[in-house]
Structure 1
Amino acid sequence: MQSAVLGLALLHGGETFSWSEWKVYPSFMAGWLLLGGAYFLAIGPLRHRFAGASPVSARKVASFTAGLLMMFASLQGPLHELSDYFLFSAHMVQHLVLILMMPPFLLYGTPDWMLRPLVRRRWGYLAARAITFPLIAFALNNIIFLAWHFPGPYDLMMRNHNVHITMHLMIMVTGTIMWWPVMSPLPELPRVAPVLQMVYLFLVGIPMMVSAALITFSQSELYSWYVEAPRLISSLSALEDQRLGGVIMWVPGGLTLWLAITAVYFRWTNRERIEDEAVTLSQPRVNRAGLVVPPVTGVR
């Protein structure tokens, strides 16, 4: 078995690794270019074909572009080689980006009018409403994530490229669905209330943290693929690499969700402050001279 793993490693770059070595994977590049091309065509020359399509702000375009670049950096180039053929810890970095970091940028950068055709028909709306319902979105993401990190399915997808592609597609899609109750760009499928967003994000992290703890404190190697893989860092054993991967899932993964919770909190309190100020300005008030000052008009 070790010779088979070594053979795959040699086929995809050998026992050595170089940060400057970039390989092109046609299956990924085709999907990535299709996604990016469709977006930029939709916001550019084809925008007039969408009903109510307003211009997309530079901030949204930058956000979607950042999401595309995260996808590219995760699934093409050095991180891909490290995660697929050498280090479990690198694979956890890859999954962290694809599930917790990339989807919010893609969702924020997508204008509502681009997605509206998907929910125009009743069956499309009902299906989208069902899978983006917070409980369903939570369950889909965590079930898919946890299922693929059991040793059996994990080693299967590491040994079968088509299964590996399927896994990446599944975690990216369910990761995006998971973020929907917090980052929805479509009023027809609205975000939940800010307080519920914070509770939801806190709960989302619990299954991942439990899984990370089990991996981190395991007394034996769980994934035979990395046991048999070439040791890129001689001082880092397969068990130590596995524990490092668990810590990456646990700490940076948890911090990412807490940063999102913090962002939701400040966005919520800022909106509340603006609304309170608007109400105050819309009411008549008495100045120091005892004169009634009429409300400020035109306050939104």
Structure 2
Amino acid sequence: MPLNIFGFQALWSPYLIGIILFLTVVYFLVTTVWRKDFKVSEPLKKSEATYFILAMILLYIIKGSPIDLMSHIMFTYHMVQMAFLLLLVPMLLIKGIPWWVWKVVVEAPVVRSIFKIFTQPVVSAFVFAIMFSLYHMPGVFDVIKLDETLHGIFAFVLFLSAFFMNWPLIGNVPGQKQMKPLYKIAYVIANAVLITPACALIIFNPNPMYSTYTDGETWLKAMELCVPSSTLSGLSLSGPELFNNMNPLEDQQLGGVLMKIIQEIIFGIVIATIFRKWWIQEKRDDKAITENALREFQAKKQSQQF
């Protein structure tokens, strides 16, 4: 059955387009026109603008395109959506917003204490793992998917925990404590390990876990999160099997596997980037030490000649 029966709004989320365009305009106003209002600022870098635009494009693709609609029909799409939304979008946002803007945000009176606590590596890693695992517990997941307000709140808190988890790796606000490269690598590995039990439960469970993907009535109610109820009331649908060739268990297992694969790819790239920067810095430091030692030796030798 074609997806266009759900209508243009469900397929392309025009409201989200408006929000993203608004955020993009505000971003460029703050980082260019209003930059002079900041005590400390720098010209916007092309790389920063690129990262931010990529974050907005990716956000729309995973939350505004038909992928979002499919995430309510197939668990596989949901997990792919979660992987990019929680592991990649926060990184792009952190790198896309200039440090002098972040400095104002993280040093605000109320935000300062929250940041200090939740960006501690141990805290951020465990909070994200707990929130991710809690979100995907069958009882919790089904309840959240049936209540628009509860779903919005929980999804926002989960995204915020992902943001805090990524901050120790990417954040570069002057004055804030930075992890050493080897500690960052260990931190990435720890994060990968901490969410593995939740993914393993999804992959190896012998039975389908979520009624919002298996029970027709519950699924139809959950679809109201992305499809107007007026549209759904005019449709005669029995369940997600109308749009999915896989059985629920295969769909669930594939979703868990793809989540882990995407996570490993993203984390692998992060580790490779950290290691490369560390290696370049070490080579630069070694060269500087060698040059300094050579200059000292030559100066000492000249002084002995006189």
* TM-score bin (small chain): 0.7 to 0.9
- Specify the SS of the correspondent of 2:240: coil
- Specify the SS of the correspondent of 1:215: helix
Count of residue pairs the alignment pairs up: 274
Task: Say if 1:209 and 1:249, in contact at 8 Å, map to a contact too.
Answer: no
Counterparts in 2 of 1:94 and 1:234: CA distance versus 1, 3 Å: closer
Q: Distance in 2 between matches of 1:139 and 1:174?
A: 9
- Specify the SS of the correspondent of 2:179: coil
Letter of the 1:17 counterpart: L
Task: Say if 2:126 and 2:194, in contact at 8 Å, map to a contact too.
Answer: no
- The Cα of 1:215 is off from its aligned counterpart by 0.7
Q: Distance in 2 between matches of 1:189 and 1:129?
A: 9
Matches within 5 A, 1:31-50: 31-50=19-38
The equivalent of 1:77 in structure 2 is 65
Task: Say if 2:74 and 2:244, in contact at 8 Å, map to a contact too.
Answer: no
- The Cα of 1:183 is off from its aligned counterpart by 0.4
Matches within 5 A, 1:185-224: 185-224=172-211
Q: Distance in 1 between matches of 2:108 and 2:134?
A: 33
User: Where does the alignment leave 5 or more consecutive residues of structure 1 unmatched?
Assistant: 1-14, 295-300
Deviation per CA, 1:267-291, whole angstroms, max 9, x where unpaired?
11111111211222233269xxxx9
Matches within 5 A, 1:134-149: 134-149=121-136
- The Cα of 1:57 is off from its aligned counterpart by 1.0
Tell me which moved more, 167-176 or 105-114: 167-176
Hey, which of these two has a bigger chunk of helix by percent? 2
**Is the aligned partner of 1:279 residue 2:289?**
yes
Which of 57, 65, 70 is the matching residue for 2:53?
65
- The Cα of 1:80 is off from its aligned counterpart by 0.4
Tell me which moved more, 241-250 or 228-237: 228-237
Task: Say if 1:99 and 1:176, in contact at 8 Å, map to a contact too.
Answer: yes
Matches within 5 A, 1:43-192: 43-84=31-72, 86-120=73-107, 124-192=111-179
Identical-pair percentage: 23
Letter of the 1:240 counterpart: E
Deviation per CA, 1:131-174, whole angstroms, max 9, x where unpaired?
21111211221111111100112112222222222233222211
User: Where does the alignment leave 5 or more consecutive residues of structure 2 unmatched?
Assistant: 216-238, 301-306
The equivalent of 2:266 in structure 1 is 256
- Specify the SS of the correspondent of 1:282: helix
Letter of the 2:158 counterpart: I
Structure 1 moving runs of 4+ over 6 Å: none
Q: Distance in 2 between matches of 1:234 and 1:109?
A: 37
Which structure has the higher relative contact order (CA within 8 Å, separation 6+)? 2
Q: TM-score, normalized by length of structure 1?
A: 0.83
- Specify the SS of the correspondent of 1:59: helix
